[in-house]
Amino acid sequence: MAMQLEFDPTSLPLAQLESLRFKSNQIIESIQTLQRTIDGHPSGMPAWPDVLSKYNILLSQTHNFSTSLSSSLQQQQSQINGITTQQGPQQNPYEKIVLHPQVPMTDTQLDTEIIPLLRNQQTLDVLNTENETVRRLSEHMVTRGSLGVLSGLPPPPPLEGAPTRFSQARKKPEYEDVIAECAEIRGDHDRRADRAVRAVALLREKFDWKPRVAVEVEEPEELEWDPKHGPGQHRSGAGEDPDVDIESVDGSDEDEVEGHLVDSVETPAVPSSDMDVKMG
């Protein structure tokens, strides 16, 4: 008969586990937000500052999560209490936690629910996304990635004006060729990024960019508001604005109408003056 050990829930660092669960949920939400940002623009990439800010948030959350996993219980308690004391050898509170079921499980449940967690296998969504990413990347590579290695076919002929050393041999690609092409792609990307950074730095030194991005703050007099008067004065001034705008817009029309009226008044006055001359 197997010996059954009693489980003591008080031995678990519940506060630390709750903190880890909260941080993991934040990471999942950040990943989903970044995915929606990228997939929400099928015709093109979204604005780079938006992508960079969401990626930096995800990177910071992942770093905090990793730091929490590697920190010790004594360090966390000293940080919470604000007291730094010299204690014995510090141990990680998660090292002695073992994942085990509380009730008997069948072999099928053990294989589908427990073993994937013990082996740290990826979830189905992450695995499918990774396979789709690898497939799209292989379509744009000369060696075609792992697909080219497993298929055993030589790479297709290169396009005009774009020869590469991987397609010149016209032989079956190996994993070393795939790794070398990935290194070449990464190097080309880094060189383009460096040139872009230098170009932006030169433009920043040459032109005064601050006035172009500065936001003009309206003064109180431009808003037609005087702090010495009450809010009623502000409302009356705001009520007069439409009349002023109407007069300014219709000013040219009124001048034109007055011009016609002056002409019509002066025109019949000429015969009367002639009659007075004749009578004189």
Query: Tell me: the pLDDT tens digits for 71-123?
Result: 755 454 555 555 555 555 566 777 777 666 677 878 888 777 777 666 665 66
Asked whether residue 152 is assigned to any structural domain, the reply reads yes
Average pLDDT, the chain: 69
When mean pLDDT is compared across 16-25, 82-91, 188-197, the lowest value belongs to 82-91
- Residue 128 sits in the same domain as residue 189: yes
Helix locations, 100-144, DSSP H: 107-109, 115-118, 124-139
Q: Print the domain residue range for 18.
A: 14-39+46-71
**Tens digits of residue pLDDT in 4-19:** 556 566 777 788 888 8
Better-scored residue on pLDDT, 5 or 34: 34
Query: What pTM does this model have?
Result: 0.38
Give the CATH number for residue 51: 1.20.58.1710
pLDDT of 61? 93
- Residue 128 sits in the same domain as residue 201: yes
Asked whether residue 157 is assigned to any structural domain, the reply reads yes
Does residue 192 surpass a pLDDT of 90? yes
pLDDT of 242? 46
Does residue 176 surpass a pLDDT of 70? yes
Does residue 34 surpass a pLDDT of 60? yes
Question: Region 184-211: what's the mean pLDDT?
Answer: 85
Share in percent of the chain as helix, strand, coil (round to 5)? 65, 0, 35
| Coil vs helix vs strand at 153 | coil
* Nearby residues of 50 by Cβ (< 8 Å), 6 or more positions away: 37
Asked whether residue 262 is assigned to any structural domain, the reply reads no
| Coil vs helix vs strand at 67 | helix
Q: What is the tally of structural domains in the chain?
A: 2
Asked whether residue 226 is assigned to any structural domain, the reply reads no
| Cα distances (Å, whole numbers) of residue 141 to 135, 167, 214, 235 | 10, 10, 44, 67
pLDDT of 265? 46
- Domain boundary among the residues 205, 228, 257 is at 205
- 131 vs 128: CA distance, rounded Å: 5
- Residue 134 sits in the same domain as residue 201: yes
Instruction: Provide the terminal-to-terminal Cα distance of the chain, rounded to the nearest Å.
Output: 148
pLDDT of 119? 61
Asked whether residue 279 is assigned to any structural domain, the reply reads no
**Tens digits of residue pLDDT in 60-69:** 999 999 888 8
pLDDT of 261? 47
Write out the two tokens for 279: 């009578």
- Residue 127 sits in the same domain as residue 201: yes
- Residue 66 sits in the same domain as residue 127: no
Asked whether residue 105 is assigned to any structural domain, the reply reads no
- Most confident by average pLDDT, 174-183, 253-262, 268-277: 174-183
